[in-house]
Amino acid sequence: DGGITQSPKYLFRKEGQNVTLSCEQNLNHDAMYWYRQDPGQGLRLIYYSQIVNDFQKGDIAEGYSVSREKKESFPLTVTSAQKNPTAFYLCASRQTGGIEAFFGQGTRLTVV
Amino acid sequence: RKEVEQDPGPFNVPEGATVAFNCTYSNSASQSFFWYRQDCRKEPKLLMSVYSSGNEDGRFTAQLNRASQYISLLIRDSKLSDSATYLCVVRFFSGYALNFGKGTSLLVTP
């Protein structure tokens, strides 16, 4: 079945450590996105990529990094520079010109 | 000013009630409009797109007023299973990303 997969579902890390969240899609979508959601908040855009080897900063990119070496994959690294990394991270993809964005099931990151 | 604004609620309504959610957006150069539904601790899923002429999908009706930069969602004959957070989503002409409101929480009670 086609879809978008995020892993792991839950992730615990110590403060000061970098951590990479995985996002893979087999929908052949060109565009991929990373969002962050905090309790009682909407989704805020971290980074997005419209095509392979290209990505753009979103509204809250500081402390995060991404790569887009393959169409199917858009990993997000949460660096130690991110001051408040504990959140629910959602990856999405969309076909260029398409209407719907499809979301992965999300990764809950807790930094202790 | 936030680009997409919604009343956060919560809206507590009895089964069978009609409930309406509103959303305003600040960027007049907006291209596409959507309502997404998000269940507790789950990912958002597309409920429906919103078209200028208004559109209906079963018990759900969406309206767009471009002049007022206003979007609405009407749910008729509420079911317990409608309990969720409803996210207003706008995509601007100048970009590819979706811009989300904070969501409106709905609780339908027996």
- Structure confidence by residue, pLDDT tens digits, A65-106: 999 999 999 999 999 888 899 999 999 999 877 778 899 999
Q: Backbone phi, then psi, for B81, in 5-degree steps?
A: -70, -5
pLDDT of residue A93: 94
Alpha carbon distance A101, A52 (integer Å) = 18
In chain A, whose CA is at the least distance from the CA of B32?
A99
In chain A, whose CA is at the least distance from the CA of B44?
A103
- Does the distance separating the beta carbons of A41 and B102 come in below 8 Å? yes
- Planar angle of CA A21, B46, A70, nearest 5 degrees: 35
* pLDDT digits 0-9 by tens, B42-80: 999 999 999 888 899 999 999 999 999 999 999 999 999
Distance (Å) from the alpha carbon of A68 to chain B's nearest alpha carbon: 16
As given in the structure block, the two tokens for residue B35 are 């309502």
As given in the structure block, the two tokens for residue B34 are 């959507």
Beta-bridge partners for A81: none
Whether B110 has a pLDDT exceeding 70, the answer reads yes
- Determine how β-strand A10-13 pairs with β-strand A107-111: parallel
What is the pLDDT of chain B when averaged over all its residues?
91
Whether B29 has a pLDDT exceeding 90, the answer reads no
B98 has a chain A CB within 8 A of its CB: yes
pLDDT of residue B98: 86
Whether B94 has a pLDDT exceeding 60, the answer reads no
pLDDT of residue A95: 86
Alpha carbon distance A66, A88 (integer Å) = 17
